[in-house]
């Protein structure tokens, strides 16, 4: 007599497996979401930091007027039509400000353009004019036709809350000597940057 033995999962084993998998997914989801949000903020603030470093380096190298980073609402505009939008830093570009008037004129070369940041991110600054200008010495120019930014705070819907010594936000500081640094510490984002940008984020 032939006896066929069937292998596989029983219904109970399948249900137990699915239950355990559902618990693991539910447990991991908040951590994955925080990981994605944190990486998005770190990427955004590092992109601004990179553009500031490029601008400072180019100002020193070119020795022909200032090099500026300024916000724009239309990063896809043609180079000759690119204009500074002093009310936003959700996108920005770097250009050579040969006449020092704190705005992009059609003939002035554009060095770098950064597209729009993710819509979940908020960027706040300590100055209404979202612009930073570097002189040929590499120093950040003081206020002239515009008041330049020295502090940037970037956050999302979580706001600025602590996670140990770290923060859910990111801060960026530009010193008078032109050096810029980014930080994810709660001390820098909440205690130092937030009061300078208006006391809240978002």
- Asked if residue 5 is part of any domain, the answer here is no
The residues pairing with 114 across neighbouring beta strands, listed in sequence order, are 92
Q: Quote the number of domains for the chain.
A: 1
- Asked if residue 85 is part of any domain, the answer here is yes
- Asked if residue 145 is part of any domain, the answer here is yes
Domain that holds residue 121: 33-196
- Asked if residue 19 is part of any domain, the answer here is no
pLDDT above 60: residue 3: no
Between CA 91 and CA 113 the distance in angstroms is 8
Domain at 188, CATH number? 3.55.40.10
- Asked if residue 105 is part of any domain, the answer here is yes
What would the pLDDT profile of 67-92 be if each residue is shown by its tens digit?
Answer: 999 999 999 999 999 999 999 999 99
Residue 149: both structure tokens together:
């930014």
- Asked if residue 11 is part of any domain, the answer here is no
pLDDT above 70: residue 6: no
Q: What is the pLDDT of residue 14?
A: 73
- Asked if residue 39 is part of any domain, the answer here is yes
- Asked if residue 109 is part of any domain, the answer here is yes
Helix (H, G, I), strand (E, B) or coil at 1: coil
What would the pLDDT profile of 12-40 be if each residue is shown by its tens digit?
Answer: 777 777 777 666 666 655 678 888 889 99
Q: What is the pLDDT of residue 7?
A: 60
Predicted structure pTM score:
0.83
Which pLDDT band holds residue 4 (cuts at 50, 70, 90)? low
């Amino acid at each position: 007599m032939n006896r066929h033995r069937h292998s596989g999962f029983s219904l109970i084993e399948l249900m137990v497996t699915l239950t355990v998998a559902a618990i693991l997914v539910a447990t991991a989801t908040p951590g994955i979401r925080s990981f994605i949000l944190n990486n998005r903020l770190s990427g955004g603030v590092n992109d601004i930091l990179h553009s500031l470093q490029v601008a400072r380096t180019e100002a020193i190298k070119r020795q022909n007027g200032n090099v500026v980073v300024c916000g724009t609402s239309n990063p896809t505009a043609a180079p000759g039509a690119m204009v500074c939008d002093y009310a936003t830093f959700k996108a920005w570009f770097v250009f050579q400000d040969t006449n020092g008037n704190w705005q992009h004129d059609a003939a002035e070369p554009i060095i770098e353009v950064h597209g729009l940041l993710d819509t979940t991110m908020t960027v706040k600054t300590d100055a209404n004019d979202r612009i930073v200008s570097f002189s040929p010495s590499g120093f950040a120019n003081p206020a002239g036709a515009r008041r330049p930014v020295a502090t940037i705070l970037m956050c999302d819907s979580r706001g600025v809350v602590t996670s140990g010594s770290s923060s859910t936000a990111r801060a960026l500081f530009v010193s008078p000597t032109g050096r810029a640094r980014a930080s994810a510490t709660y001390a820098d984002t909440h205690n130092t940057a937030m009061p300078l940008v208006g006391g809240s984020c978002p």
